Structure 1
Amino acid sequence: MQEKEQIIRTEYSELMQKSYIDYAMSVIIARALPDVRDGLKPVQRRTLYDMHELGIRYDRPYRKCARIVGDTMGKYHPHGDSSIYEALVVMAQDFKKGLPLVDGHGNFGSIEGDGAAAMRYTEARLQKITQEAYLADLDKDVVDFVPNFDETEKEPSVLPVKVPNLLINGAEGIAVGMATSIPPHNFSEVIDGVKAYMKNPDITTEEMVEHIKGPDFPTGGIVVNQSDLLHIYETGAGKIKIRGKVEIEQVKGGRQRLVITEIPYTMVGANIGKFLMDVYNLTETRKTNDIVDISNQSSKEGIRIVLDLKKGADVENLCNLLYKKTRLEDTFGVNMLAVAEGRPETMGLVPIIRHHVNFQYELATRKYNTLLAKELEKKEVQEGLIKACDVIDLIIEILRGSKNIRDAKDCLMNGNTGKIEFRYKGSEADARQLCFTERQATAILEMRLYKLIGLEIEALMKEHETTLSNIAKYEEILGSRTAMAKVIIKELNRFQKEYGRERRTAIENAAEAVYEEKKVEEMPVVLLMDRFGYVKTVDASTYERNKEAADAENKYVISCMNTDRLCIFTDKGQMHTVKILDLPHGKFRDKGTPLDNISNYNSNEEAMVCVSNLGGLLGRKLLFASSSGMLKQVRGEEFDVSKRTVAATKLNEGERLLLVQILEETEEESIVMQTEKNMFLRFLASDVPEKKKGAIGVRGMKIDEKDKLSAVYLLGAEEKTITVKEKEIALYRLRLANRDGKGVKK
């Protein structure tokens, strides 16, 4: 019989809330955030464990990364192969990790942002430190193993990491509603911090900072806000300011060069290229004239970015400019968030080390309990073998008189002689006294005859003494926290001696970079723009010497001040502004720069209607005329705006701006409007009212539905003549009429 369908009614918002919380927690715990105990995200933990299981140890040959990624994805991490490979690559990059955990062979990317080669080309194996300090003792029941995603394999819930990896390598991850960003630290300093905590669990952050002085980035650099570190390490959040390391070299001719040998950690990757572009832009926009050339001479030996300076350059001021305007000084946001006891928590320096040390005691307790259990088993077996050697003749007689192993074993353990045939009468009485344990009886039955040789018996006695010594040692370690601490510290000292290195990042309290911008000396210049849109400025005296050629070769010739701004009005109704200082200034025969390279103006899409300097517009009025015949006057002050591009007027769809021109505001100043069918209307400019730039304006001429406006002319005192159908028409002789008329046919 078919079951009746059940419909569960529930509140939609509650269902969505529960589902989203489940999703968020899955991302937080199972993907994005590291565990405070081993400092690893799940993908990193699973990749390292898989390499360990595949036997890709530090002393064995490299294996293809594709094999590692595929095996990890198939057994432990059911997500995209790209995320696994990316995690593997990052763990092998010494410019991102303070302590690389993977030994990469092949192209694993570069500090300048080049990506790693495809996983089918690269190879990898574990580093020695990873094998010794991250994956050792997995066979000693030190951590819990949990089922994998399809319950066909077992994986460790956490790796038995013996060093505080969360601090040594740092961490970065974005979860749902939270993110972690922990800087890397110096290996030796972190070990010193752990030892200091173990000796004094009540240690304060201030005392801890004496051991762990601050972040130690693999790219070096200089931390310049040392005074803020105590607060950051106390709260687990804050901002670290990092600067690149700059050296000054002397060159021939009395010139100098700035050489950047270390970069901020945040500049790793594509930001090196962005830094070079930022420096280039500083020279192009004339923020500085001290830089002659920029070159990136970085190689496998290290970073070397060279800035050649002109003679007499102010080096200190230039360095401050680079700190202020480029990523040579940058901020590393710290948020020491990790999963502790199953939930995300922001922790300071001491709590992170406390969690690590507690984890070390837990690992050591489980390890030595396992070792003690094995030694006790060995002790039991050894004592049985030693006792058996003393009564070996009796045991041989029992074995010869037994019909099967079960009877022999029963006799050895319980003294049951009923099923045993003895050769000698006294032997049965002795056999009844036997009381070996089951483990001892099994070992006796499996013992080989050569073990009865004298030297072998001596070796057994020595082995028994060693076992008793180990048992005493393990019981002492497990019975005393102080003894366990000594063992842990001893191992940390070994790691520190073998893998410790000098600090790379300097830490200091540096003065904030203050850049004094040189005041621009105001001077008159002449702006020249040819018909191809190439623009430049020249000195007024240079223009006067070449006036005739300049006027003939250029579409626009505008006298202005070098502190002024250039205003470009387009037929789309936009106004683009460019600082005159941003334009190339030089000789008369210099080619100049395309206008669309230094402004938002696009010569492929828009046509220039008017080009003027902002200083020439202030205090004046502009006449605007659109293709639909709408006119208005606008005050020039409305275009004194800070934005580089603004709407200069309002246009309807399909409408174009035909004319923008400065009004002379004389009595005889008039406007002539011409249509495609050669209808002309002339009226006084004063008939056009003043409007805001956002207004459409008023109609200047009634145009027939089958006709269109083709041109608008502003006439002053000059006499203007145009040619229509090979006939010259003097516009100033047209009869004055009223605005919004039909005009006359010509």
Structure 2
Amino acid sequence: MTETVSNGEANWERQALKDFTEKAYLDYSMYVVLDRALPHIGDGLKPVQRRIIYAMSELGLSAAAKPKKSARTIGDVLGKYHPHGDSACYEAMVIMAQPFGYRYPLVDGQGNWGSPDDPKSFAAMRYTEARLAPYAGVLLSELGQGTVDWGPNFDGTMSEPEVLPARLPNVLLNGTTGIAVGMATDIPPHNLREVATACVRLLENSRTSLEELCEYVQGPDYPTEAEIITSREDIRKVYETGNGSIRMRAAWKKEEGEIVITGLPHHTSGSKVLEQIAEQMRQKKLPLVADLRDESDHENPVRLVVVPRSNRVEAEKLMNHLFATTDLERNYRVNLNVIGLDGRPRVRNLKEMLSEWLQFRMDTVTRRLQFRLDKVTSRLHVLEGLLIAYLNIDEVIQIIREEDKPKPVLMKRFGLSDEQAEAILELKLRHLARLEEMKIRGEQDELEAERKQLEKTLGSRQRLKTLIKKEILADAERFGDERRSPIVSRGAAKPLDETELVPSEPVTVVLSQRGLARAAKGHEVDPEGLNYKSGDGYQASAQGRSNQLAVFMDSTGRTYTVPAHTLPSARGQGEPLSARVNPPDGATFAGVMIGNEDDRWLLCTDQGHGFVCRLGEMYSRNRKGKAVLTVPKGARVLPPTPVVDPAHDWIAVAGSEGHFLTFPLEELPELTRGKGNKLMGIPPKKLKTGEERVVAATAFDEADTLVLFSGQRYKRLTPSELDEYVGERGRRGYKLPQGWRKVDALVPQARLPAK
């Protein structure tokens, strides 16, 4: 609500702060959207770009003119049309001049205008010179022919075009990016010939489907030889919705055993790519590469050489790894958001973009033809008056000599209009020759023929379309070129697993009671006989390969992943896992697992619950680990044990009171996380007080012998002896023989080291 307050001679408005700020924000938002960030569908330019192009044309900087200092252009732009920062304005001019950034540059620059490695390394505007590129004529050639509306500049002292009369859909050809308030635009560049063909097709048949248009416009065409690897179907979806993404991948080839990169994705720096590869080499994450070279020059703007370590390195695998881990493969957002003919921004699909631009072009050509028709008609009218004057030249001269105001007399005597009489009075004496009458009649014949042709074209929509079609094809023939970015459908690249970069050797991962880990070479290792620090001792071990991931489980049921080849040698006493991962405060490590992703492991707590889990489900890239096993309050995690054959393995469980139970593994579920199911039934009262617990649990093959350890003694239970303890999962189990009821561990015979 607004109210006016008067106080003597002073008047002011009182307005709610909420209303004022809301209006101010919306006004600013509309300004940013319409006058700064988004392009117009007609010429595909933002206001600053349009003003730069127009100012250069006003300075006479055509493609055939001598270039002038860029500071001269920027000064005119800022002083006459665009009162903003000079550095931002100059950068907008630079972008339009960079052939590696603009598909069809609008500015022809001389001097240092940046490089693909560093587009912003251009020289200051006082050093560089510029003129318009030949392609800029597509936007400017019809400007003075009544084709567009004009508006006042920022101070109202001059006029500037509100849009340029583009003869081609520059909005798609060069594309643009911009961030407004609440919206953005990302329009990729396209090939001129493809877009022109699609426009002609749409002119011939307005019912042409988007699928048919996509046969002509195959996809974006960036100013680089890198491949577009997005599938045709995904590209069609982008054009159908106006939103999506395009993925580009560097072009490469093999030369004498070396990998040569010849084309980089749009706006990708070759030096940065080499830095990314070199960083991987420094961190010893890329042992497949021996050397890098940058051999780029004027003849080969992009030539990066990657030297593999040996001929055995597969180039395809290596490049896939580099595509996934460096800027050799990049994703580009597409958002076809432009300001339409109605002055409103909206996301359009490909057909809507082309259709609306063609409507703009038809309106422009109509205005151009009408402007010319008006000129021709006016000239014919003047010639008609001049012819009357020549036929009555003596009388006309007498009136001019004798009358003080000859104009009205001439108009009345010969029935002339004001315009005709003025033209007669402006005649020079040299034009009174007999030959001039013949010139007038010849000019009349030419203009009359032109007028009839113009009226025919303006009176027939089909003739108008044919004219536009011919002009589009002529411009396409002059400025068009072959596609630069080939479209090749490929799957997304995946990096090489770190384990693929190291040799596969047998190792035994050993975990100590204090959480120190190490890896001993080979499987014939006695982990309990290794050297441990004072007060420390053996906790758990697992056998695997050096190129596999070791998974450690802590007392809270969280798992942590460490590459086995990065663990220290068993010749030392190990390295604290706390230096690699961040377990919760007070947590200790309970066990270690290693193997293939599809290997199964038995996870359980001493309260008698557990489940089978696939090793790959326990992998975690997070230093804080992954919550897998739910550990009830007061419970302890038992060491995980491997499952050899889920279809034939059995589970053996021993309790602290001498109870023993075996049951088929298939009775236990396979989960990705959780508490699991009950393995052995322990009375809740004893479980709550801690009087009875599960002390050991393992998976074993039905034909294997199980070794039961009790202190320094051990007892072998053969398959036939184990049959006596078979029961349903979750039962109490059966008592072990007297003297063997204090079980320390259960180990299948097949897993014991050979004596």
The question of a shared fold, defined as TM-score above 0.5 by the shorter chain, is answered with: yes
Q: How far, CA to CA, are the matches of 2:154 and 2:59 in structure 1?
A: 19
Q: Indicate the RMSD between aligned Cα atoms, in angstroms.
A: 3.6
CA contact (8 A) 2:567 2:575 kept: no
Residue 108 of structure 2 aligns to a residue in which SS?
strand
Q: Deviations over 1:573-612 (max 9, x none)?
A: xxx9996756999xxxxxxxxxxxxxxxxxxxxxxxx982
Residue 155 of structure 1 aligns to a residue in which SS?
strand
Question: In 2 relative to 1, CA 337–456 (structure 1 residues): closer, same or farther, beyond 3 Å?
Answer: same
Q: How far, CA to CA, are the matches of 2:248 and 2:114 in structure 1?
A: 23
Residue 138 of structure 1 aligns to a residue in which SS?
coil
Aligned residue type for 1:167: L
**Shift of residue 190, structure 1, vs aligned partner:** 1.0
Report the equivalent of 1:66: 71
Q: Deviations over 1:198-238 (max 9, x none)?
A: 11112111011111111111012212222211111011001
Report the equivalent of 2:100: 95
Match of 1:229 among 220, 227, 235: 235
CA contact (8 A) 1:64 1:124 kept: yes
CA contact (8 A) 2:296 2:302 kept: yes
Corresponding pairs, count: 549
CA contact (8 A) 1:102 1:125 kept: yes
Q: How far, CA to CA, are the matches of 1:362 and 1:350 in structure 2?
A: 18
Matched, 1:445 2:448: no
CA contact (8 A) 2:150 2:161 kept: yes
**Shift of residue 127, structure 1, vs aligned partner:** 1.0
Report the equivalent of 1:635: 588
CA contact (8 A) 1:565 1:613 kept: no
Aligned residue type for 2:577: L
**Shift of residue 9, structure 1, vs aligned partner:** 5.0
Matched, 1:473 2:439: no
Match of 1:40 among 42, 45, 66: 45
CA contact (8 A) 2:246 2:334 kept: yes
Match of 2:218 among 198, 213, 233: 213
Report the equivalent of 1:435: 415
Report the equivalent of 1:291: 289
Aligned residue type for 2:317: N
CA contact (8 A) 1:145 1:155 kept: yes
* Mapping of residues 152-231 of structure 1, within 5 Å: 152-224=157-229, 225-231=231-237
CA contact (8 A) 2:549 2:561 kept: no
Q: Deviations over 1:295-328 (max 9, x none)?
A: 1222233211111112221112112212222222
**Shift of residue 14, structure 1, vs aligned partner:** 3.2
Task: Decide which moves more: 289-298 or 93-102.
Answer: 289-298
Q: How far, CA to CA, are the matches of 2:24 and 2:561 in structure 1?
A: 52
Q: How far, CA to CA, are the matches of 1:46 and 1:494 in structure 2?
A: 27
Residue 331 of structure 1 aligns to a residue in which SS?
strand
Question: In 2 relative to 1, CA 464–5 (structure 1 residues): closer, same or farther, beyond 3 Å?
Answer: closer
Question: In 2 relative to 1, CA 389–28 (structure 1 residues): closer, same or farther, beyond 3 Å?
Answer: same
Match of 1:240 among 246, 257, 264: 246
Question: In 2 relative to 1, CA 305–26 (structure 1 residues): closer, same or farther, beyond 3 Å?
Answer: same
* Mapping of residues 317-356 of structure 1, within 5 Å: 317-340=317-340, 341-356=342-357
Q: How far, CA to CA, are the matches of 2:239 and 2:551 in structure 1?
A: 52
Q: How far, CA to CA, are the matches of 2:239 and 2:164 in structure 1?
A: 25
* Mapping of residues 303-314 of structure 1, within 5 Å: 303-309=302-308, 310-314=310-314
Aligned residue type for 2:156: E
Instruction: Give the share of equivalent positions with the same residue, in percent.
Output: 36
Matched, 1:612 2:613: no
Aligned residue type for 2:19: E
Residue 507 of structure 1 aligns to a residue in which SS?
coil
Question: In 2 relative to 1, CA 167–456 (structure 1 residues): closer, same or farther, beyond 3 Å?
Answer: same
Q: Deviations over 1:386-422 (max 9, x none)?
A: 22222222223333333x2x1x22221112xxxxxxx
CA contact (8 A) 1:110 1:269 kept: no
**TM-score (ref. length: structure 1):** 0.68
* Mapping of residues 379-398 of structure 1, within 5 Å: 379-398=380-399
**Shift of residue 516, structure 1, vs aligned partner:** 5.7
* Mapping of residues 499-518 of structure 1, within 5 Å: 499-514=479-494, 517=497
Question: In 2 relative to 1, CA 4–643 (structure 1 residues): closer, same or farther, beyond 3 Å?
Answer: farther
Q: How far, CA to CA, are the matches of 2:592 and 2:507 in structure 1?
A: 22
Residue 160 of structure 1 aligns to a residue in which SS?
coil
CA contact (8 A) 2:281 2:289 kept: yes
CA contact (8 A) 2:48 2:92 kept: yes
CA contact (8 A) 1:236 1:335 kept: yes
Question: In 2 relative to 1, CA 493–5 (structure 1 residues): closer, same or farther, beyond 3 Å?
Answer: same
**Shift of residue 81, structure 1, vs aligned partner:** 0.9
* Mapping of residues 576-591 of structure 1, within 5 Å: 581=565
Aligned residue type for 1:612: E
Aligned residue type for 1:325: T
Q: How far, CA to CA, are the matches of 2:396 and 2:464 in structure 1?
A: 43
Name stretches of at least 5 consecutive residues in structure 1 with no aligned partner.
251-255, 416-433, 527-536, 541-559, 568-575, 586-609, 623-631, 648-746
Report the equivalent of 1:573: none
CA contact (8 A) 2:568 2:575 kept: no
* Mapping of residues 5-44 of structure 1, within 5 Å: 8-44=13-49
CA contact (8 A) 1:261 1:305 kept: yes
Q: How far, CA to CA, are the matches of 1:515 and 1:20 in structure 2?
A: 46
Report the equivalent of 1:495: 475
Residue 140 of structure 1 aligns to a residue in which SS?
coil
Aligned residue type for 1:138: L
Report the equivalent of 1:134: 139
Report the equivalent of 2:301: 302
**Shift of residue 436, structure 1, vs aligned partner:** 2.1
Report the equivalent of 2:369: 368
CA contact (8 A) 2:550 2:592 kept: no
Matched, 1:149 2:154: yes
Aligned residue type for 2:368: K
Q: How far, CA to CA, are the matches of 1:261 and 1:21 in structure 2?
A: 48
Residue 101 of structure 2 aligns to a residue in which SS?
coil
Question: In 2 relative to 1, CA 371–475 (structure 1 residues): closer, same or farther, beyond 3 Å?
Answer: same
**Shift of residue 263, structure 1, vs aligned partner:** 1.2
Report the equivalent of 2:539: none
Q: Deviations over 1:165-187 (max 9, x none)?
A: 11000110011121111110001
Report the equivalent of 2:556: none
CA contact (8 A) 2:551 2:592 kept: no
Question: In 2 relative to 1, CA 441–243 (structure 1 residues): closer, same or farther, beyond 3 Å?
Answer: same
Question: In 2 relative to 1, CA 633–494 (structure 1 residues): closer, same or farther, beyond 3 Å?
Answer: closer
Residue 463 of structure 2 aligns to a residue in which SS?
helix
Name stretches of at least 5 consecutive residues in structure 2 with no aligned partner.
1-5, 510-518, 523-541, 553-559, 594-618, 626-755
Q: How far, CA to CA, are the matches of 1:639 and 1:382 in structure 2?
A: 103
Question: In 2 relative to 1, CA 512–645 (structure 1 residues): closer, same or farther, beyond 3 Å?
Answer: closer
CA contact (8 A) 1:92 1:100 kept: yes
Report the equivalent of 1:104: 109
**Shift of residue 195, structure 1, vs aligned partner:** 1.0
CA contact (8 A) 2:291 2:306 kept: yes
Report the equivalent of 2:128: 122
Q: Deviations over 1:443-501 (max 9, x none)?
A: 22222333333333222211111111111121112111122222222221221111110
Report the equivalent of 1:273: 271
* Mapping of residues 404-419 of structure 1, within 5 Å: 404=404, 406=405, 408-415=406-413
**Shift of residue 192, structure 1, vs aligned partner:** 0.9
**Shift of residue 645, structure 1, vs aligned partner:** 7.0
